[in-house]
Structure 1
Amino acid sequence: MVVPRQHPDANHVGQDVTAHLPDPASVAGTSGFRPGDADVWRLAVEYLHVRSNDGHTAYSYGLAAALCDLHPEADRDVVLPAIILHDTGWSRVPEDEVLEAIRPGGGRPDLVIRHEKEGAAIAADVLARLGRDPAQVAEIVAIVDGHDSRTTALSLDDAIVKDADKLWRLTPHGVDTVMDWFGLTREQALVLIGSRVHGHLFTEPARAMARALAAVARIDTVPQRIALG
């Protein structure tokens, strides 16, 4: 996984403008991982090094946090740990069978359900080790157990987790990942992704995000953009 650069390659204006930047706390989308969620990540990440789930989970966390911003009634203490833990169960599925579970023209529903059940068990263990509230743990475990196979949402919290999970596919990282999973061109991958995202989201903010992400992803496939290099 390519890590996005954190420092500039140049300063074309030739001046230090950092003193004029606003307080990050006043700008939407700049908060990163909450301390308590970082603890969940620390225990969960060892289960996420399968099928690019580590990168997928990190980006999905950001999307889930944004959806929580737009749904202040959501319980972040449920949504954000749930999105971190939702795909940990793939670590207990044979790696050579993981992509067969979701392959176009095929699919293994039994493996999808298996990863949900295993993920629910891992979630329960991780959250117990962190001493989390039992009522919240129960809701998180229920969300993880069924996040892919269940076609309805148990709650707003569940809907946000499901939506954030799907929205990742339309991010640049998601499109790149799906291309290499199935040997597809960027344009083909975007068609496959769109068929599995648009029309399958629960919240209006997620539907708007999906349209925006898809618009950017589509421009990455047009000759005018490609010619720019």
Structure 2
Amino acid sequence: MRSPTSTRLGRDIRTHIPAADGIDAIVMLDDADDAVWQRAAPHLAVRNNDSHTLYAYGLARALLSRIPRADGAVVRPAILLHDTGWSTVPQEQILEAIAPGGGRPDLIRRHEIEGARIARDVLGDLGREASVIDRVAEIIDGHDSRDQALSIEDAIVKDADKLWRVTPHGIRIVCGWFDLGPEESLRLCASRVDAALFTEEARAIARGLIAAAAIDHAPQRAGLV
């Protein structure tokens, strides 16, 4: 019987790996964004909003890199603070507020209004410009319930928030929320994303994420490493 072919090279190639700061798509929170995050995080420790927010931040940064006319000084704090208002909603009601086939529009509005208030407090404490605070609060107050984007910055925040649903993390978390299998979660998340996006850049990201996730459920993928 033939032995399986080794897939290990057998030598160290680490000297050929570039530094992270030389790869544009690798992003981390800088000091200014981390200051917002540190104040937002206590409000995000409900319904996986903390991890969701960080992934949405990464997606927003990816969109900003392709839409240079957008103001990152508005988008970045807005995405970090957008879901802080869920901390004011009873935890047992949060999933019902967003559940397919149900929903609580009143609670969705509540988290937007309270999130805008929290954002004003956080950014005010950090000494951000009044014009930035106003724009961030305006975006958060309507990021889920408003059907139209008020600006390119609003569009990016909305798109980054929705794109999270079709990331590997989003699909896995939604499985747990609604007791779904991975393929069911993929179908649910995919159906709730594309039509909700505002930018072509976000639609391209969504299609790539959905296509890659779908291959996990292709019969040809079964049993492969």
Give the aligned partner of residue 93 of structure 1: 89
Contact 2:163–2:206 (CA<8 Å) still a contact in 1? yes
2:183 partner amino acid? E
For residue 215 of structure 1, give the secondary structure of its aligned residue in structure 2.
Answer: helix
Aligned with residue 136 of structure 1, among 121, 132, 135: 132
Count matched residues: 219
Q: Distance in 2 between matches of 1:226 and 1:207?
A: 28
Structure ID, larger Rg? 2
How high is the TM-score relative to the length of structure 2? 0.93
State the Cα distance separating 1:185 from its structure 2 match: 1.5
Give the aligned partner of residue 13 of structure 1: 9
For residue 98 of structure 1, give the secondary structure of its aligned residue in structure 2.
Answer: helix
Aligned with residue 141 of structure 2, among 139, 142, 145: 145
Matches within 5 A, 1:156-175: 156-175=152-171
Q: Distance in 2 between matches of 1:71 and 1:80?
A: 14
2:32 partner amino acid? G
The two structures, once aligned, show a CA RMSD in angstroms of: 1.4
Give the aligned partner of residue 174 of structure 2: 178
Q: Distance in 1 between matches of 2:191 and 2:10?
A: 46
Q: 2:14 matched to 1:42?
A: no
1:189 partner amino acid? S
How high is the TM-score relative to the length of structure 1? 0.92
State the Cα distance separating 1:225 from its structure 2 match: 2.5
Q: Distance in 2 between matches of 1:175 and 1:110?
A: 25
Q: Unpaired runs of 5+ in structure 1?
A: 1-10
Percent identity for Structure 1 against Structure 2 = 54
Aligned with residue 124 of structure 1, among 112, 120, 125: 120
Aligned with residue 195 of structure 1, among 164, 188, 191: 191
Give the aligned partner of residue 4 of structure 1: none
1:109 partner amino acid? P
* Runs of at least 4 residues off by over 4 Å: none
Aligned with residue 66 of structure 1, among 42, 62, 65: 62
